[in-house]
Structure 1
């Protein structure tokens, strides 16, 4: 074979090359290592081909890579050859003959530029990077065990530190049998609720689709399916920090103590959009009380300063209300709450004192001209 004229896609069809990348053939490893030494000018093309092969293997991590790989290539070859043969009104040859190199030159431009490139972009590229679930679990510093929820109901997983993970259907979690390092790191692809046991000496880290969520002990939900464009972290109790994985790892490597991220408190959520790499903090759609029984208890305020009402709301829901105390110092209210939601309570208070509110970055800003 004249490998010196190969482009990145050509290497995909070479079984010896794939065996070298996968490490399944000592002979292939020896050959390609020597070949690269003799042809240093081909290094960039070989690296591109390596990424394509690894992307395919990552994509079919739980299947038989060789069989699925061959099947996909066969389909692409079949469709490309059929289109070409239809145009030239020549019979469709058997698939084995389509792989012959004298016809490959004709089919390559159709398959590579149209079929394979689009297919790789749509189905493999999101999983091929160093932040993919498959890559992270392979490179983890500790041996991992994996739980995959293939059922239609949630599955509870008790980790060695006592942390309880509720794994949603079509989700998977990889974690060490014991947390023997300075932190407690797990890897998620899908959605799960974490009830983390507090341990200030060992922060709990969740790697999920280009994000890292760091906690000491709290309960929250992470939704990070690799096929979805958003990662969502929702805090139920406590406090968590969410970072872009790239920023988090750079800070660790350089020894920086401060990392740019987002801090979330109860009833707040973070959305990370993979398309624009932007972190956004917001209030959850339906804030819930930190203790569910609290809203059901009747709360009566008679000639009470409005600041006292706001303080009670903050304690009940764990949210921050921002307002000018001086402007509202003369405002007294007579109110009774029982089963109203957070926003319903704010509506009542603001209507009573002639104020308004808006939700900004997961906090509630109250505007008022005061009471006379």
Structure 2
């Protein structure tokens, strides 16, 4: 039986037109798919998928609402019909997806498909005009932006914590070195142990953006062609990455408004008096965690006298460069300062 013939059989089953022999083919198909996947799934994983599927069949057909009475033929037949249609629908939707994945013989894909099924346990959609805060069972706090949705399992696994995002959300992840927290956004995956970061991934947008507030974040592309080779970067605070969906390019950069990272009991002082430029830039680097590179070493001889308190980093750099006859530009995740310098 080829794929087209099998599709026709499934359609016939849904229409209730199969004889007993054809129905048996459907049930044998369900059993054989899991049996023939020994190189992909261990016995526990097979049983987990099977149990999950049948639990959903029960809950979506007779669970909690169906009452079976042996002596009432009409009720009995109606209940069996509901059960039959429910089973058929679940087989077509659930098992057909698993079948396609197994046909590709991709261990990574089957793991991700299982994660997708688990992640659909709970789905939260924010249709309000304000942010919505969600606290997950592991202590992670998600701030879901408007017109966004997130799905995740009731209980995370022991090795990974997978969630699936559409739209935008800020994550403050509870650290767990044994179970990375993984955010799936279409073709891009963001993986952390414990940190805070923002992910923006709307369906109608041409790009996906990830920016980091604290900690370190691994961002990489999910590639079907070369699953072993990941196109990705490691981000640190005040850094971001933009993934172009069409070109598949990952472009690292700096967040629009870098924030102070240095923890200090007192206010950080940005007042400089006859301070060598190299020391000024080193302080900015230490405070914001962003690399600032002097391309012309003659600039080291310049000194700065200025009050740069209460100004954003970009404004501070602009005033510094004007004062010492220089200019700056952003390249990737660093700033570069160049120019003739003071005389």
> 1:283 aligns to what?
254
Please report how far the alpha carbon of residue 151 of structure 1 lies from its aligned counterpart in structure 2 after TM superposition: 2.4
Aligned with 1:170 (options 116, 139, 147): 147
Task: Give the Cα separation in 2 of the matches to 1:278 and 1:284.
Answer: 18
> Normalization by structure 2: what TM-score?
0.64
- 1:295 touches 1:338 (CA, 8 Å); kept in 2? no
> 1:224 aligns to what?
201
- 2:148 touches 2:166 (CA, 8 Å); kept in 1? yes
Residue 231 of structure 2 is aligned to residue 260 of structure 1: yes
Structure 2 matches for 1:31-180, cutoff 5 A? 139-140=116-117, 144-180=121-157
CA 1:232–1:17: 2 relative to 1, 3 Å: same
Measured on the aligned residues, the alpha-carbon RMSD in Å equals: 4.0
Please report how far the alpha carbon of residue 342 of structure 1 lies from its aligned counterpart in structure 2 after TM superposition: 0.8
Unaligned runs of at least 5 residues, structure 2: 30-99, 102-107
Query: How many matched pairs?
Result: 261
Unaligned runs of at least 5 residues, structure 1: 38-128, 252-257
Task: Give the Cα separation in 1 of the matches to 2:335 and 2:176.
Answer: 31
> 2:18 aligns to what?
27
Residue 317 of structure 2 is aligned to residue 346 of structure 1: yes
Task: Give the Cα separation in 2 of the matches to 1:26 and 1:315.
Answer: 72
Please report how far the alpha carbon of residue 176 of structure 1 lies from its aligned counterpart in structure 2 after TM superposition: 2.1
Task: Give the Cα separation in 2 of the matches to 1:205 and 1:152.
Answer: 27
Which one has the bigger helix percentage?
1
Please report how far the alpha carbon of residue 288 of structure 1 lies from its aligned counterpart in structure 2 after TM superposition: 3.0
Structure 2 matches for 1:163-202, cutoff 5 A? 163-202=140-179
> Normalization by structure 1: what TM-score?
0.59
- 1:191 touches 1:222 (CA, 8 Å); kept in 2? yes
Task: Give the Cα separation in 2 of the matches to 1:342 and 1:267.
Answer: 11
Task: Give the Cα separation in 2 of the matches to 1:139 and 1:288.
Answer: 35
Aligned with 2:302 (options 311, 331, 334): 331
Please report how far the alpha carbon of residue 287 of structure 1 lies from its aligned counterpart in structure 2 after TM superposition: 2.6
- Per-residue CA shift, 1:275-308, capped at 9, x if unaligned? 1211111222333333699997542111212122
Of the structure 1 ranges 281-290 and 220-229, higher mean CA displacement relative to structure 2 is found in 281-290
